[in-house]
Structure 1
Amino acid sequence: MEGKFSEAFRGNRVDNRDLFITTAEIFARKGYHKTTVEEIARAAGVAKGTIYYHFANKEDLYLAVIREGVYLFQKQLDRSLATASSPPDKISSLIEGQLHFFNQEKDFVFLYLKELFSTGPRRDEFSEMLTGCLKPIRNVVEDGVRNGSFKAVDPEIATSVLFGMIALSALHYLSYNQTIPVQPVHRAIGQIFFTGICPSES
């Protein structure tokens, strides 16, 4: 199922990708309350009426940005899973894929993570979206526990821990408008997740 931007602008002269990027960037930079539809339309090079034709108001546009970003995130997870076979390889691929996604969609990611870590009125709805996104990761952990690749851990907690490590590592760089160094961060997260930080007992 495609996100609302994809649905709204299919076949339209407006490039939905450009509008998504522009809208996410402005909302991330200025915040919801200080952003106006007029400003987004001007930055995207479209008429304000074009946006209102597809989106009822600013809140509808804002939610569409989030839903589109979540849809793109789900597609990235699917691609990551398609390139690996064993549960450990899938987790490693998922870590790397998410870091690349966070670099590519940094404005959406920054916007979405701010909402997740806030106490705003939309937090519960956005948390439910994330739960759905993370289900494939939880399934991989469950498979790994079942076949002995992983210890008998709680899959839900392990999934939350993994996403938290990735998200907060990404936020550390995005907060300073820096590009995430994918390979070193990927290695560090993988090492901590798979083996922990304590030395093995001899």
Structure 2
Amino acid sequence: MNKTKRDIFQSAVKVFSTNGYDGATMEEISTSAGVAKGTVYYHFKSKDEVFKYIITEGVSLLRQQIQNIIKGPGDYSYKLRQLSRDQLKLVYENRDLFKVIMSQAWGGKIRHSELRELLKSYMEDIEKFLIKAMEDGTIKKGDASFLTYTYFGTLASVAVYNVIKNDSMKLDENTDSFIEHLLNGIK
């Protein structure tokens, strides 16, 4: 991605995060990016296209991270902790982007269903990861689909906790606590 497109991307994330989809305008995106409105239209035909681009990039970051961890060193116990830590870090460092993604996951418009399809592919990646962790003996065998959504929901809640607290994230401490509760429950 060239510098101008990256600037537009970052500005669009901020504008969508602050104003929501309906409140965002191409003019505000261009002003925030410090480029002419025509420059934004050169890269993106519409606000909808800008939105699709930022959510696709966001979900792609999450999916790529899973693939890197699967290919990386360690058993699935190590990889589960690494995945959880890296996903939390990614969400924390890109709060505005994930605020946009999570705020637009519900609804009946085409953009909502397109986003849900992207999230579905992400969830499928997590499910494959968790199945391998079951096969490895890291986690007990069970309904992989249910576990995937439980994992995602809990991870998202930890991310929201950190965003709301809005202080410096204690990444390792939060990851360890998350893994402890995930693997051992809250008894």
Q: TM-score, normalised by structure 1?
A: 0.83
1:125 maps to amino acid: E
| 2:168 paired with 1:158 | no
Among 70, 91, 105, the alignment partner of 2:80 is: 91
Contact kept in structure 1, 2:63 and 2:125, CA below 8 Å: no
- Which residue number in structure 1 is paired with residue 15 of structure 2? 26
Instruction: Give 5+ residue unaligned stretches, structure 2.
Output: none
RMSD over aligned Cα, in angstroms?
A: 1.9
Range with bigger deviation, 151-160 or 70-79 = 70-79
- In structure 2, relative to structure 1, the CA distance for the partners of 1:176 and 1:189 (3 Å cut) is closer
> Taking structure 1 as reference, are residues 155 and 84 closer, same or farther at Cα in structure 2, changes over 3 Å only?
farther
The residue that corresponds to 1:119 in the other structure is 107
Per the TM alignment, residue 49 of structure 1 is displaced from its structure 2 partner at its CA by 0.8
Task: Output one character per residue of 1:81-103: Cα deviation in whole Å (capped at 9) or x when no partner.
Answer: 34443222211111000011011
Tell me the residue number matched to 1:135. Answer: 124
**Alignment TM-score, normalising by the size of structure 2:** 0.89
- CA deviation digits over 1:27-58, x for unaligned, max 9? 00111111111111111011111111121111
Bigger proportion of residues as helix:
2
Query: 1:76: Cα distance to partner?
Result: 2.4
Q: Per-residue CA shift, 1:127-159, capped at 9, x if unaligned?
A: 221121233321222123224332121111111
Q: Is the 8 A contact 1:170 1:180 kept in 2?
A: no
How many residue pairs match? The answer is 186
1:1-202 map, 5 Å: 6=1, 9=2, 14=4, 16-116=5-105, 118-121=106-109, 122-175=111-164, 177-198=166-187
